[in-house]
Amino acid sequence: MDEKRQLGEFLRTRRSQLKPEDVGLTAYGDRRRVPGLRREELALLAGVSSSYYSRLEQGQSSNASAEVLDAIAVALRLDDAERQHLHNLAAGTRRRTRGRRAAPERITPAVRQLVEALGEAPVLVLGRRSDVLAWNLAGHALFAGHVDLRSPDQPGNRPNVAQMVFLDPHTRELYADWTKKARAVVGNLRLASGQHPDDPSLAVLIGELSVKSPEFRRMWAEHRVKSGAEPVYDMRHPLVGTMRVTQQSLRTERGQNVVVATTEVGSPSRAAMALLVHAAATGPGDRPATTAAHVARADKPLRT
């Protein structure tokens, strides 16, 4: 991925979303050829020269200091996640390493223990490209019951949440507000692209989604790094009906995300989730014995 181009596009997109009145500037009714702030206005707010800021947007400068980046972030009114993304993109422009295919991601024994400790709550573990590295029976049943249970054990055939959200009809139907979930997925990929600019597999994934999904292509061009919404979704499960589910993420030391799905105590959603978990645990008689976190090794039966 071209880090300088990404940095410039991010700055231009954010600048175009700010109006003079948003930052205390007087527009005097002048007609603007492009939406948002002018480069010189943004540079003034950030306390840098207009020519220097222009070079940043045009990908002609890669030596912006942390202080300058913070000043630009304040001028653009970036939140913490967006500010970190700006720093990641700027750091990427200074790296000269060639992209190499990374080794397949794996979960550690500690993460396996964590998933098992979470009991019957639906859980899945996502890698930096949103590949599913592991899930428990309930997580599989909630998010992708139509996918092979053992697929996370196969590095070359792992389910990918971004692909499922944008390209899989089952997953699209799973979310009552599909756009909300889709924006969250794109935001996570944006963060990952800034953190891992030299990952060729991530670039391939983004390219595939851009070609196959006009909706992804449009959302990706917005350069948003997170959805800005609470991680609560109305999920329409084909087995138990509609549930209001909170999806929270715990980040591991390796940068993987442990996603845990919960429901409100005493709610109809909690009852529906309990039914789904029970169905997953007592499913077809030929279901292989697994641990709570389904990984390659199965040495303990799921508690019911």
pLDDT digits (tens, 9 = 90+) for 63-85: 788 899 999 999 999 988 888 88
DSSP label of 239 = T
Closest CA to 124 of 144, 146, 148, 104: 144
Residue 92's pLDDT is 72
Most confident of 86-90, 147-151, 225-229, 295-299: 147-151
Residues 122 and 74 occupy one common structural domain: no
Give long-range contacts, CB 8 A cutoff, 24+ apart: 96-103: 97/198, 98/198, 99/198, 99/199, 99/200, 99/203, 100/198, 100/200, 101/200, 101/201, 102/199, 102/201
Residues 137 and 231 occupy one common structural domain: yes
The answer, yes or no, to whether residue 119 has pLDDT greater than 80, is yes
Burial zone of 252 (CB within 10 Å; 0-12 exposed, 13-18 middle, 19+ buried): middle
Q: Domain for residue 189, yes or no? A: yes
Residues 114 and 231 occupy one common structural domain: yes
Count how many domains the chain has.
Answer: 2
Residue 225's pLDDT is 85
Residue 132's pLDDT is 97
Residue 285's pLDDT is 43
What 3-state class would DSSP assign to 228? coil
Q: Domain for residue 302, yes or no? A: no
Judged by average pLDDT, the poorest of 23-37, 137-151, 229-243 is: 23-37
Tell me the average pLDDT of the chain.
85
pTM confidence score: 0.77
Task: Provide the residue range defining the domain that includes 148.
Answer: 109-281
Q: How confident is the model at residue 269 (pLDDT cuts 50, 70, 90)?
A: very high
Residues 244 and 184 occupy one common structural domain: yes
Residue 288's pLDDT is 41
Q: For residue 151, what is the domain's CATH number? A: 3.30.450.180
Better-predicted residue by pLDDT, 253 or 240: 240
Q: Which of 64, 94, 124 is the last residue of a domain?
A: 94
Residues 10 and 89 occupy one common structural domain: yes
Q: Domain for residue 127, yes or no? A: yes
Residues 64 and 8 occupy one common structural domain: yes
Mean per-residue pLDDT, 271-275: 96
Residues 117 and 73 occupy one common structural domain: no
Residue 71's pLDDT is 92
Residues 81 and 114 occupy one common structural domain: no
Q: Which of 94, 126, 144 is the last residue of a domain?
A: 94
End-to-end CA distance of the chain: 46
Residues 258 and 135 occupy one common structural domain: yes
Residues 30 and 155 occupy one common structural domain: no
Residues 14 and 139 occupy one common structural domain: no
Residues 143 and 198 occupy one common structural domain: yes
By the 8 A CB rule, do 194 and 3 touch? no
Residue 80's pLDDT is 86
Q: Domain for residue 287, yes or no? A: no
Mean per-residue pLDDT, 19-26: 77
